[in-house]
Every structure is written in C-alpha cells, then in structure tokens.
Amino acid sequence: MKDSNWVQVMREEINALERNLTWERWIYTMYRSSELNEILKHLIYPTWVTTGLEIGFETLVAGCEVASSKIGEIISLDGGNDQKINSFSLIPHEFFEDMESKWKGRIKRIHIDDVFTAVEKAAEALHIAVSEDFVPVVSRIKATVAPLGGPKGEISYAREHEAVWFKGKRFTPNLWAGSPGEEQIKQLRHALDSKGKKVGEEWFTTTKVEAALIRYHEANAKAKERVLEILRGLAAELQYSINILVFSSTLLVIAKALFAHASVSQKVKTIMKNQQIRLIDLGGCPLTCNLNHSESIPDSEAERPTPELG
C-alpha cells in the first residue's frame, strides 16, 4: 500500500467489491492490515453519524466476517465461470441468452447442479428437434434456384413468444415429388401464441419442436425458481445482520469518497505540504490522509493548513 498508485489500486478494489457484493470481506481485510486498520477506525465515527447506528469496531468486524461467510457460501463471486449460457449453431444465441441470463451465474452451481443439468439436457433436446424438423426445410430452400419472389425460410427467434420457430414463405412445392425436405414441410403447422391464436402467416413449428420448447421452458423455470428460493433463504439469514450490512455498505461509500477525493487531488496536481490532503465534511470528522504512506489522522493532530489548488 506504500506504492504511489495505491489510490488507483484501492478504487479498482472497491469497484470490484461493489460488483461482487463483498464489501464485508473488504472491511475484514482492512481490519487485519496494520496500515489500513487505523483508517478503518477513523471511518467508524462518520458512519455512526450518517446511519445513526452506533456499532462498535469489533462488533462490525465480527458481523462482517459472519455475513461475508454466509454470502460466500451461496453467491457466485467469479461471475459463474462454470455456468455458461447454452449455445448451439442452429438456434439464435439471443434465445438462450434471454432465457438463462436471468438466473445463471447468480449462485454457486453446487446448489443448483440438478436443475442446471436438466436445463442443459432440455436445450440439447431442443437443438436436436430443430435440426431434424427445420434444417431439411432450410436446406431445401437454399438449394432452390429461383428468381426474385422465390421461397424463403430460416430458423428464427420470436422474442415476444420466447420461442424458436421456422419463419418462411412460398416454400411449399407445387408438386410433391418425394424430394429432400418435403416430409418435413408436411409436418409444419402455424405457430400459436399463449392464447392459442395464430402468430402470423410466416411462423411455423412442429409437434416435436413444440414439445422440446415446453420441456426447455419448464426446466428453465424450475432452475430460476430454485435460484430465487436460495436467494430468499440467504436474505432471511442476513436479516439478522441487517444493521451490519447497512453500516458496512455506508462505510464503503464514505471510503470510496475518501479515495475519490485523493484521486481528484492528484489529478489536478494539488499543492500539499508533505503530500497530505484534508477530508472535509466526512460525517463531521475531518481527517488528513498521507498519500505516501496510506495514513489517516484527525485534523487536530495534523495541525496542517488546508491545501490550496495550484
């Protein structure tokens, strides 16, 4: 922390902690650091003033350790690297992104492995159904040499209906000759919305694809519900630590303001005696921060004038 780039390092650390909701662990880390421990102590009082919660130093640290442990057991802090969104070449990626991004990567996979696996299997089954029922029709259309106004067709994602269907027109042959793709064309039927109404003249599906879609959506819904259930349980456990959570998150905001103040002072090349800055209006507890040694001491001890901007 004695490096001249410590302000930038701490800013990146705080931003990462905010993204991962691990500010309690950061407070515990400061507590164990001989250089940062004093800074943490000086931040306690302004946090008291801001929150109205008089939580003692040791109580805060102990509470943060407990909360961090509970969160760490459930929440996926690495962004869910082992929970990739399903992807298949024949199905638009946006479909799986919209369906699975709502729950994947939220909590550790170990807690949802069974429903996670079920979603993967259902996605693969959907891919197979699309491959068997839609691809032959698309291949037939692509192989057809026709002037403008010829047959058109593709596998598309109907976002409004959360479905993968065949979208095409003028693809039905005038004469059935038993050529490749004809059998699959005969299986196509107009796609229906949730109310049973025909979506449009260009949207088609098959019995097999619809069954695979239903299976996938059911598996996805179960996985999403499991994640929500686990998060509700975590929230209930953390309810007993609500004051600690409020206090520690407020302390983080104040700490971030501290580092931002120091960073801005560096950017505008503030002229500071002994490279020190005053932290004004920090919950009624002005401090002086030494940028070289990461020290923070009360102004009453610093006895240094307010720096002037040059």
Q: What is the pLDDT of residues 164-212, one digit of tens each?
A: 999 999 999 888 888 899 999 999 999 999 999 999 999 999 999 999 9
Q: What percentage of the chain exceeds 70 in pLDDT?
A: 73
Instruction: Identify the pLDDT of residue 6.
Output: 43
What is residue 294's predicted lDDT score, i.e. its pLDDT?
41
Confidence of residue 80 (pLDDT cuts 50, 70, 90): low
Nearest residue to 44 (alpha-carbon basis) of 283, 269, 236: 283
Break the chain into its structural domains and give their ranges.
93-229
**Percent of the chain at pLDDT exceeding 90:** 45
For 43-49, the CB contacts below 8 A with 24+ separation are 43/251, 43/254, 43/255, 43/258, 44/251, 45/283, 45/284, 45/285, 46/254, 46/282, 46/283, 46/284, 46/285, 47/247, 47/250, 47/251, 47/254, 47/283, 48/283, 49/283, 49/284, 49/285
Taking the model in full, what pTM does it have? 0.71
Of the ranges 26-35, 39-48, 260-269, 295-304, which one carries the lowest mean pLDDT score? 295-304
| Lowest-confidence pick of 71-80, 123-132, 168-177, 226-235 | 71-80
Kindly tell me if the per-residue pLDDT of 286 is higher than 70.
Answer: no
Residue 114 clears pLDDT 80, i.e. is over it: yes
Please indicate whether residue 196 or residue 266 has the higher confidence score (pLDDT). 196
Q: Mean pLDDT over all residues of the chain?
A: 80
Spell out the residues 6+ positions from residue 219 whose beta carbon is closer than 8 angstroms to its own: 115, 118, 119, 121, 122
Q: Which of 136-145, 177-186, 298-307 has the lowest mean pLDDT?
A: 298-307
